[in-house]
Amino acid sequence: MACLDHASKERLATFCTNENIKVLWQEPMKEHTSFKIGGPAAAMAVPKDCGQLAKLMRFAAEQKVPVWYLGNGSNLLVSDEGLDGLVILLDGAFDGEITVEDKVLVAPAGKKLSAVCAAACAASLTGLEFAFGIPGSVGGAVYMNAGAYGGEMKDRLLWAEYLDLQGNLHHVPAEKLGLSYRHSCFMLPEYAGACIVRAAFLLEQGDKQEIQRQMDDIFSRRKEKQPLEYPSAGSTFKRPQGAYAAQLIDECGLRGFTVGGAQVSKKHAGFVINTGNATCEDVLELTRQVSEKVKKEKGYELQLEVRLLP
């Protein structure tokens, strides 16, 4: 894939003007990630709906421009050099509103999970309480089968829709999405360039007050145990088989361990936080040293849960 050179930028600018698609140039990625880290994206386009997105994807494929998709940016660590290509942002306004029919809730990919949980609660539908407080958006949550407090997306996901590189829409039932711990088929090479645009969740009738009580309880537990007052990307490492990453890191005496502006949280050792001016390199060096020590002292291989761009 080619980088976004001057000629490519001019073609992209003309295309976006003609299609009425908002585009930002040299947009700081640290403004779009929960880690508050990342250099500028050469271009960031903000499509309003699937029609604009499909045209944008086809254009990028024809021009051989590198593309990254962005939702709430809550599980991303972006290079300090930024991204020399096109970032496509699916924000909360993308492709309309959350809808509820009977016990099925359908949400566009850019909607935050908190908004989805609130909509389910308003409709007295139970099953998504575990996701309240997960800072991601629907698309990202499906992509990585996000989970917390004993629940995962796959427990309630009914189907997902995605656009392929040619802008064709595909409707796939949940059982064919290869969902497992922090994994989906969208991570496989054959789905490279695909963009999740919508997902549906099958829920159950419940009591609105009890649903709200459970969501409030989960949020208060998060606030009490997690360093929400600092920028982070949530749990930094995946849970290794037969152990817990935070416990292993803690037992190695690494709580509070710091490299530059990155630190293993003193509140929860499973979180790496940005104490103010952390760089991507700070985080990578810290996680490298943490992984090395855990491997040496505990024999476990820690794998990053955070997704690196590029």
Residues serving a catalytic function are 182, 235, 305
215 CA to centre of own chain: 21
The amino acid that residue 90 corresponds to is L
Tokens 């997306």 correspond to 153
